[in-house]
Amino acid sequence: MSDPWVKLELDIAQFDAPCFEKYVTRCGADGIRLTTLAELGDTPAHRRVLYELNKECSADIPERGEFYSFDEYVERRFAAAGYDPRGVVIALDGDTWIGMAATSRHGDFVFNEMTGVRAAYRGRGISIAMKAFGMAFARESGATKVRTFHHPANANAIAMNRRLGFVDAEG
């Protein structure tokens, strides 16, 4: 049986950072601030806000099913060996968290755990900006690749990653 997931990867050395800088600049001009969970503070309260944002955005992933409980989320994301709050990019409109691009570290690659933008903010380049912003962490962590996989029906997420230069993963 063939693998149902669309597996994508990006060679960090090939990432065209200057090409995507304008998305980061546009976010700033629109009043959207990009930062990381490490900068905001990896506190219990912020972990709860991140959970709620992730849960809301994940409701739009095809066939995602019921989302984790908060305790399950803590176990899977914050207690995982690859967790690093510097790899969790947050987009804020004022004090409101409106987007996230979370990665984890795995030796020579970083894995995209979740990218999500609240529905009212979609289609403005915010996911591209967050992922471009997060590329510095991927590079600094010593990784050579960023990996992700998606449900084949998640056309927006697949298009978003291909737009950034992700290609079908080998093997």
Ligand X SMILES: CC(C)(COP(=O)(O)OP(=O)(O)OC[C@H]1O[C@@H](n2cnc3c(N)ncnc32)[C@H](O)[C@@H]1OP(=O)(O)O)[C@@H](O)C(=O)NCCC(=O)NCCS
Q: Which residues contact 126 (CB under 8 A, 6 or more apart)?
A: 27, 32, 91, 98, 99, 117
CB of 22 to ligand X, least distance (A): 10
Q: Which of 24, 163, 165, 169 binds ligand X (CB under 6 A)?
A: 163
Q: Which of 50, 128, 132, 146 binds ligand X (CB under 6 A)?
A: 128
Q: Which of 35, 69, 96, 123 binds ligand X (CB under 6 A)?
A: 123
CB of 164 to ligand X, least distance (A): 8
> At 118, which amino acid appears?
R
Are the C-beta atoms of 37 and 88 separated by less than 8 Å?
yes
- Pull the structure tokens for residue 135: 């590329």
Q: Among residues 127 and 141, whose Cβ is nearest to ligand X? A: 127
- List strands edge to edge, sheet with 145-150: 32-36, 88-93, 96-106, 109-117, 145-150, 6-11, 167-168
Is 153 an interacting residue with respect to ligand X (CB under 6 A)?
no
Binding site for ligand X (CB under 6 A): 57, 60-61, 114-117, 122-128, 150, 154, 156-157, 159-160, 163
